[in-house]
Chains A and B, each alone.
Chain A
Amino acid sequence: MREVAIIGAGSTKFGELWEKSFRDISVEAGLRAIGDAGISGEEIDALYGGNMSAGRFIEQEHIGALIADYAGLTGLHIPATRVEAACASGALALHLAVLSVASGWYDFVIAAGVEKMTDVDSDIADDLLASSVDREWEAICGATLPSLFAQMARAHMERYHTTSEQMAKVAAKNHANAIHNPYAQFRRAISAEAVLNSPLVADPLHMLDCSSIADGAAAVVLCAADKAKAYTDSPVYVKASAQASDTISLHDRRDVTAMDATIFASKKAYQTASLEPSQIDVAEVHDSYTIAEILAIEDLGFFNKGEGGIATGEGQTEIGGRIAINPSGGLKACGHPLGATGIRQAVEITQQLRGEAGKRQVPNAEVGLTHNIGGTGGTAIVHIFTS
């Protein structure tokens, strides 16, 4: 297997992009990544696009070909593949793109993620989120996506004494980070008190514990590491790309306060990269709900099980803390256009490891990690990168 590097990265702004279509944002992100890499369209061998539900959000399937077409790549007839793993679709596109370059099959590949969520009303979008869990035996019985994370939060609070204040701190920290991220949906501070005073969505989760519905797209350009220096002085190397699955239903899990898919994927990733959790400088983790970040930082091995809330409360996950978690603002403040998120995380880590993250730069960041899950953790995908 060959080593793989990221040589270009780009993203649209995330948010309610009413004036822009699915095609507009897909092409905008792709062109930014290609421009950043300084390669020409003729050099691209293949495209992988992560997207959860264009069929229901914009009534359009076959979006692999659509994106390649509107990106101006039709004349080259490159293979263009759409992949889906619910909210982890973006990281899945990256995983498959990495495998295709590592195997030697392709030399230059684009991994993109896109979701256009605001062309349907928010009730439909909320219902679509529930198609990432077990429709037949969770959603039909009344489960919404936040109601399942709320049950994880309840169990974590009762077993480990995690508090609503600690969960609110996740949202406050991520919003503070996003102030310095020009691509984030919400670039303003919110206090932990504001989170606690926002309406309950599913007890104990409040509205401001939840990530938002948004439009957005992001893309990275990958190539074989030995070719990377011809395009950039600061390639970012993909040291590990690991994917794991678990039961689709939350109630069938071994433990509702842990995500085994995250534990398995991260163990495999650390093993591949020959790195320990303590060697990670910066991580973009899947904070679709505040409790999800607390579970993630435990399951990824950054903190002991049950201590994620305490660590958050103590500021250990802030930029400048023991490990910087979600310097971009995370899903909470960047917005969560489902299929785009996994790639947006990789774009952020690329900028962090290049030292180009401006006021949200994590000092001396050399090793970064991304963590993207689908549904309540039926899929987890972990990537590790180095400068």
Chain B
Amino acid sequence: MRYLAISLLLLVFSSCSLKTTEGLREQVAQVSEIQNPYFSNTSEDYVYKAKLDIYGRYFGGILVVKKLTKNSHRVVFTTELGNRIFDFSYNDDSFTPNYVVDQLDKKLILNILERDFRVLVKEYVKPTSQFSTDYGNLYQTNDDGRFNFYKFAKDTKRLESIVNTTKTKEKIIFSFEGDTQIAKQIDITHQSIKFNISLIKFENQ
């Protein structure tokens, strides 16, 4: 009976633990701020070939990100032929959808897009705790009732991924390929819904 209780407790405990930090020891954050460097240069036009799968509906096009001032970014998605699909402005913590095409102008979809691109372009965040692992450092930040885990490689110090989670579940994985300053490929993968964004950087831009 006691074993059963322990087993049940273990089961409950393990099902509640977050995969991102499984087996890792939480420490006080040793830095006051961490940087996502991928959209940090105001003189750079960040232009990507984009493929969006939104609940099984496919949207292809060009995604443009521009850092306008220290705390503001513009994110525009157009078709290959040039017409705008959506156009967002992020300024500190405020969000303005300048334009959204009818097919995507639904609260549920817009909220997801808003969060995805906010996490993607947000440059400076304050970690609340830190986890050291064999591969590098993992920093935890608060994000509007959820958490973001920034994973930096030990050797290159490159930001490899951001994992957006609730207390118990990984919700969105942002993975970055490329060098320390430029993300050549970005994949935004939602874990519990069919909502994925794949970005490949233009080589000639």
Specify whether A and B are partners.
Answer: no
